[in-house]
Amino acid sequence: MRTDSVVEAFDEAADAYDQVGVDFFGPFGAELVRRADVKRAERLLDVGCGRGAVLFPAARAVGRDGHVTGADAAATMVDLTGAEAARRGLRQVTVVVGDAQEPAFPAGSFDVVTAGLVVFLLADPHAALRAYARVLRPGGRLAVSTFADQDPAYGQAMRAMAAHLPADAGRPPTPDPMFASAEATMAAVAGAGFGDITCTEFSVVSRFSDAEHWLTWCWSHGARALLRQIPADRLPAATADGKAVMWGDRAPGAELSMTTTIRVVVAGAPGSDT
């Protein structure tokens, strides 16, 4: 249930996802690949691949002798990302519809699993980590990113819009405690059998040309799961409240920048000799 409505929102958003002129998923994805130290000829699984923020840098890193499998539960994400890989002539890329919680691949299939900004969306992120350990070869690597710090105004703007939800609308589930701190995330990764665990942070500044640009961006990613539940007759007031909170004293036509920090956890698969 939780995953279904989230996946529906991403499926609706897929056309615009990461395509509205905002630095966000692209730089985070490229950094995840860099910190995972992806090498030529490696076999990599990218779960929750979206529009390829992780997948395309990974495809460059593994080169023609490697292979990258992107899996996403949203069929439109898969269609668009697969088409983009074909347009770029990336024969080392396959994109499939697949579950990030239970990737359906034989044990030991991959040298690297990447999970960029997806595990906190899953009903059982601990089960997902155990599944990644299973599909990695001994000595393989896992690289996972989660949110660390978001601009406080962003959270306030989301809450201002959520105040317009009907009483019977679903509310976002309480995040699993494993996302509360770097230590908790590392402990969860260790609990799934991984070793050699590091956790580092990385920040990106996103710029919005005006309040409408910010709102367009909100519809293009996971915030859509909230916005799509607000009845059409309440949406103008809800989005006006969100923009007012986000812009504060600035004029709606003024530019705004927002800093977001992620955690990148890199770990060695069970049986790792590194």
Ligand X SMILES: C[S@@+](CC[C@H](N)C(=O)[O-])C[C@H]1O[C@@H](n2cnc3c(N)ncnc32)[C@H](O)[C@@H]1O
Please report, as ranges, the residues that interact with ligand X according to CB under 6 A. 3, 6-7, 10, 18, 25, 29, 48-50, 53-54, 72-74, 77, 99-101, 116-118, 121-122, 222
As measured in angstroms, the least distance from the Cβ of 10 to ligand X is 3
Asked if 199 contacts 263 with a C-beta cutoff of 8 angstroms, the reply is yes
As measured in angstroms, the least distance from the Cβ of 72 to ligand X is 5
Among candidate residues 34, 72, 28, 27, the one with its CA nearest the CA of residue 51: 72
Among candidate residues 44, 132, 135, 24, the one with its CA nearest the CA of residue 90: 44
As measured in angstroms, the least distance from the Cβ of 143 to ligand X is 11
How many other CB atoms are there within 10 angstroms of residue 83's CB atom? Answer: 11
CA distance 244 to 269: 46
**Comparison of 202 and 247: residue with beta carbon closer to ligand X:** 202
Report the residue closest to ligand X, judged by CB: 50
CA distance 274 to 269: 10
Q: 4, exposed or middle or buried, with CB in 10 Å at 0-12, 13-18, 19+? A: exposed
**Comparison of 116 and 242: residue with beta carbon closer to ligand X:** 116
**Comparison of 222 and 252: residue with beta carbon closer to ligand X:** 222
As measured in angstroms, the least distance from the Cβ of 177 to ligand X is 20
How many other CB atoms are there within 10 angstroms of residue 184's CB atom? Answer: 13
**Comparison of 216 and 272: residue with beta carbon closer to ligand X:** 216
CA distance 104 to 98: 7
**Comparison of 116 and 268: residue with beta carbon closer to ligand X:** 116
**Comparison of 21 and 253: residue with beta carbon closer to ligand X:** 21
As measured in angstroms, the least distance from the Cβ of 148 to ligand X is 15
As measured in angstroms, the least distance from the Cβ of 74 to ligand X is 4
Give the residues across from 264 on adjacent strands.
Answer: 145, 200
CA distance 182 to 263: 7
As measured in angstroms, the least distance from the Cβ of 73 to ligand X is 4
CA distance 214 to 219: 9
**Comparison of 50 and 140: residue with beta carbon closer to ligand X:** 50
246-272 as b/e: b if 16+ CB within 10 A: bbeeeeeeeebebebebbbbbbbbbeb
